Amino acid sequence: MVSPVLVGRLAELDVLDAVYATARTGTPRAVLVGGEAGVGKTRLVREFCGRADGARVLVGGCLELGVEGLPFAPFTAVLRQLIRELGLDGVTSLVGGKASGLSRLLPEFGDLDGRNSSPGEAQARLFELVLTLLEKLAADSPLLLVIEDAHWADRSTRDLLAFLLRNLSAGTSLMIVVTYRSDELHRAHPLRPLLAELERLDRVQRQELSRLTRREVAELMAKLRGVDPAPGQVDQFYRRSEGNPLFVEALMDADGTIFCDLPESLRDLLLAGVQRLPEETQEILRVASAGGARLEHRLLETVTGVADPQLSRDLRPAVAANVLAVDGDGYAFRHALIREAVHDDLLPGEHTRLHTRYAEALEIDASLVTAGRASAELAHHWYSAHNLEGALISAWRASRDAEKASAYPEELRMLERILELWDQVPDAGSRIGEEYARVLELAVCAADWAGDSERGIKLANAALKEIHEPVRRAHLLVTRGRMKHRTGRIDWSADMRTAIQLIPAEPPTSDRSRVLASFAQYLFMGVGSEEARVAADEALSSARLIGDVQAEAGALVTLVCMDGGRYDDLDRLGQLDRAQRLAESAGLDQILLRVAVNRSHILEGAGRHTESVEVARKAIQQARDVGLFRTQGSFLAINLGESLYSLGRWADALPVLEQALEADPPRPHVSNLSQVHGDVLLAQGDVAGAARSLAVCRALNTWQFDQRLQEMIPIFRLEAELALTEGDHDRALAALAPILVEHDRPDESRYVWPAMIVAARAARTAAELQPYVDRAVKLECYGPLQHAQRRTFEAESARVMRTPADWDAAIAGWETSGQPYPLAQALLRAAECDAQAGRRDQAAARAARALDLARSLGAALAAEALDFARRLGRGSPSHGLTTREVEVLKQLALGRSNKEIAEDLFISAKTASVHVSNILAKLGVASRGEAAAAARALTA
Read off the pLDDT of residues 122-176 as tens digits, 9 standing for 90 and up. 788 899 999 999 999 998 889 999 999 999 899 999 999 999 999 998 889 999 9
C-alpha–C-alpha distance, residues 652 and 726, integer Å: 28
C-alpha torsion angle, residues 185, 187, 192, 197 (rounded to 10): 160
With residue 810 as reference, give the H or E element that holds it: helix 807-815
Provide the whole-model pTM.
0.78
- How far apart CA 827 and CA 814 sit, in angstroms, is 10
Residue 502 burial class via C-beta count within 10 angstroms: exposed 0-12, middle 13-18, buried 19 and up = middle
If we measure between CA atoms, which residue out of 247, 236, 184 comes closest to residue 211?
A: 247
| Res 1 pLDDT > 50 | no
Average pLDDT over residues 343-350: 92
Average pLDDT estimate for 193-218: 90
Q: Answer whether residue 872 shows pLDDT above 90.
A: no
User: What is the spatial distance between Cα 575 and Cα 561, in angstroms, rounded to a whole number?
Assistant: 10
Give the pLDDT score at 874. Answer: 41
Angle 204-208-214 (CA atoms, 0-180°, nearest 5)? 155
Q: What is the pLDDT of residues 364-386, one digit of tens each?
A: 999 999 888 899 999 999 999 99
Q: Which of 460 and 17 is assigned the larger pLDDT?
A: 460
Give the model's pLDDT for residue 278.
94
pLDDT of residue 371: 81
- The neighbour count for residue 608, using CB atoms within 10 Å, is 21
Write down the pLDDT at residue 901. Answer: 83
pLDDT cut 70: percent of the chain above it: 94
Q: In what order do the strands lie in the sheet with 330-333?
A: 294-296, 330-333, 324-327
Higher per-residue confidence, 855 vs 101: 855
Find the helix or strand (DSSP H, E) in which 585 lies. helix 572-586
Pick the closest to residue 650 from 357, 861, 350 (CA basis): 861
- What whole-number distance in Å separates Cα of residue 910 and Cα of residue 54? 7
CA distance 805 to 809: 9
Over range 915-927, report the average pLDDT: 76
Interatomic CA distance for residues 267 and 335, integer angstroms: 12
Q: What is the pLDDT of residues 402-423, one digit of tens each?
A: 999 999 999 999 999 999 999 9
Angle at 119 between CA 115 and CA 122, to 5 degrees: 65
The DSSP-derived string for 876-915 is: ---TT--HHHHHHHHHHHTT--HHHHHHHHT--HHHHHHH
Q: pLDDT band at 564, cuts 50/70/90? A: low
Q: What is the pLDDT of residue 508?
A: 94
Q: Which of 88, 122, 118, 87 is nearest to 104 (CA)?
A: 122
DSSP letters, 248-287, are: HHHHB-TTSPBPSSPPHHHHHHHHHHHHTS-HHHHHHHHH
Q: Which pLDDT value is given to residue 336?
A: 87
Residue 883 pLDDT grade (very low, low, confident, very high; cuts 50, 70, 90): low
Phi first, then psi: give them for residue 61, nearest 5 degrees: -120, 150
Q: Does position 520 have pLDDT exceeding 90, yes or no? A: yes
103-119 average pLDDT score: 70
Higher local confidence (pLDDT), 338 or 917: 338
What pLDDT is attached to residue 117? 59
Instruction: Name residues whose C-beta falls within 8 Å of residue 459's C-beta, 6 or more positions apart in sequence.
Output: 440, 443, 444, 447
Model pLDDT, residue 875: 40
With CA atoms as reference, report the closest residue to 717 among 798, 774, 645: 645
What pLDDT score was predicted for residue 878?
A: 53
Q: Which pLDDT belongs to residue 898?
A: 80
Instruction: Name the pLDDT band for 752 (thresholds 50, 70, 90).
Output: very high
Residue 664 is which amino acid?
D
Beta strand pairing status for 143-148 and 56-61?
parallel
Cis peptide before 507 (omega within 30 of 0): yes
Cα separation, 643 vs 836, whole angstroms: 35
Residue 448 exposure: Cα atoms within 13 Å on the Cβ side = 21
pLDDT of residue 565: 64
Mean per-residue pLDDT for 579-607? Answer: 95
Residues 481, 444 contacting (CB under 8 angstroms): no
The CA-atom distances, in angstroms, between 2 and each of 40, 59, 592, 927 are 7, 16, 48, 29
The pLDDT of residue 827 is above 80: yes
CB distance 70 to 154 below 8 Å? yes
pLDDT higher than 70, residue 939: no
Q: Which of 4-8, 279-283, 656-660, 741-745 has the lowest mean pLDDT?
A: 4-8
* Residue pLDDT, tens place only, 442-493: 999 999 999 999 999 999 999 999 999 999 999 999 999 999 988 888 889 9
Task: Say what the pLDDT of residue 95 is.
Answer: 84
Measuring CA to CA, which residue among 497, 421, 411 is closest to residue 452? Answer: 411
Amino acid 703: pLDDT:
65
pLDDT (0 to 100) of residue 346: 92
pLDDT bin (cut points 50, 70, 90) of residue 3 is low
Q: For residue 97, give every residue at least 6 positions away whose Cβ sits within 8 Å of its Cβ, in sequence order, or none.
A: none
Note the pLDDT of residue 264: 86
Distance, in Å, from the CA atom of 506 to the CA atom of 520, rounded to the nearest integer, reads: 19
Question: Which position has the higher pLDDT, 818 or 914?
Answer: 818
Give the pLDDT band of residue 704 (cuts 50, 70, 90): low
Query: Tell me, what's the pLDDT at 71?
Result: 83
CB 780 within 8 A of CB 764: no
Looking at residue 635, its pLDDT comes to 96
Mean pLDDT of the chain: 89
**SS3 of 731, please?**
helix
For residue 96, the one-letter residue type is: G
The predicted model gives 637-654 an average pLDDT of: 97
